[in-house]
Structure 1
């Protein structure tokens, strides 16, 4: 799948903004952290405040991530999985991509979700991004 293909999917009005699992992981991974910050917030959260009515969702996150990548020199014809997905460490965004963009098997996504929950619960590390693969 090319980067432009992913942009076409997320620009479709019927594409989900988030999934059940990505919302839960966002709340743990970035949502709680963002509530504590007075400065140093992540760019995409600030952009969501400005351009997305303060709605933090993974569809908006992915769109901005890809626009930044294209602005930084990637081509829309490049392979999304090789040039983008494999470098994303954000668990909520990875789960969203697995479910909505790449249509991974539900069982695999659920096991990945459980690994993320295990990581956050066992390490109490709300500010760290999990390493992939587990």
Structure 2
């Protein structure tokens, strides 16, 4: 009827909804399992990359360092100590590289840092001899102690 009351709706005459062949719970548990597996795979890949990077960039002690005592400071420690190896902190140039003035941030000790050049024409024996001789010097006013 147009100008009166509407007829009551008979729910039995409505068409049935099509049934899904998949169970909603099975689909959601499969999606959750796939998500968890993907997340675990990403975490494992990240851990592997971090471990490989640490191994690749780990400090390797030379045989002479183990025998004679003095060790290298990491580049990560020396760069901020020397303000990025800038020329205004350059003290001199030696046979194995340049020497820079610096201050170790952790201990606030003033140091001279020799940045070893791989283009040096001198050999490893000469370098070890220099390190050993400097390491034995103990002059308090004019020579810095080898760390």
TM, length-normalised to structure 1: 0.32
Bigger Cα Rg: 2
Structure with greater proportional strand content: 2
Which is bigger in relative contact order (C-alpha 8 A, separation at least 6)?
Answer: 1
